Amino acid sequence: MADTLAGKVALVTGAGRGIGRAIARKLAGHGAAVVANDLDAAPVNETVEELRGTGARALAVPGNVTAPDFGERFVKAAVDAFGSIDIIINNAGYTWDNVIQKMGDDQWYAMLDVHATAPFRILRAALPHIREALKRDEAAGRRVTRKVVNITSVSAVFGNAGQVGYAAGKSAAIGLTKALAKEWGRYNVTVNCVGFGLIETRLTQPLTGQDARIEVEGRQIPVGVQPRSIEAVKVMCPLGRAGTPEEAAGAVYFFASPDSDYVSSQVLVVNGGTN
């Protein structure tokens, strides 16, 4: 595998499982040092140990991305360990679904906090380091393109009943992407978005009588999708199936790679061609 990201330092939130772990593997496989985060320490430590086992440089920074100080702490850990920031992947997130009349303020704000406020804080914390890196690049007479990839959803692009909070949070990620692409172009930073459809992860597993749950800030939140909904999506998808985390990571890698150095402010929908 070509080391297209050799010498780069990538920050990936939500990298303990699923799509986030696949992204971390993909970037490390192309030579990047990876600073991996997850809400739970055990899975993100597993990710980092796996990457180190392949010879990659990797660091675990567990913690809740919605904590007010997390952005500063995450960025500082990356700079202290590896000296720079080249790629930021805002992937952490989860679904907490309900129709609007049954949705409380806590549920609404949880979706906005994790999908919009957390990426905002991480990016704000990273900017001073990006500006300093640009000065060094210019002094050395080299042009380096840095990357931001925010993860959104087809729920934000097309809407989805029962996901008003999730769709709003993921829509905010698109707005953040579009505005930041215009602000950060002068720093040689591209800012793009990848919007996923049905990807096979624990958040999209079929619901059963023993529903899976995740714990966030002491709340037990059910995750999963009704089996009939999964089958309906597969029927509507021209490819006839859900995507894999590895396929999802490939789209993110494109925006992180040199192949997209002149691509910015874009939303790439990854859903097998479903409209």
Question: Mind listing the pLDDT tens digit for each residue in 161-192?
Answer: 989 999 999 999 999 999 999 999 999 999 99
Q: Report whether pLDDT(1) > 70.
A: no
pLDDT band at 211 (very low <50, low <70, confident <90, very high): low
137 neighbors 144 (Cβ within 8 angstroms): yes
Please give the full DSSP string across 34-91, using - where no structure is assigned: EEE--SSHHHHHHHHHHHHHTT--EEE--S-TTSTTHHHHHHHHHHHHHS---EEEE-
Domains of the chain in sequence order: 9-200+244-270 (3.40.50.720)
pLDDT, tens digit, 9 for 90 and up, residues 30-85:
999 999 999 999 999 999 999 999 999 999 999 999 999 999 999 999 999 999 99
Catalytic residue flag (residue 166):
yes
Given 94, 166, 187, 253, the catalytic residue: 166
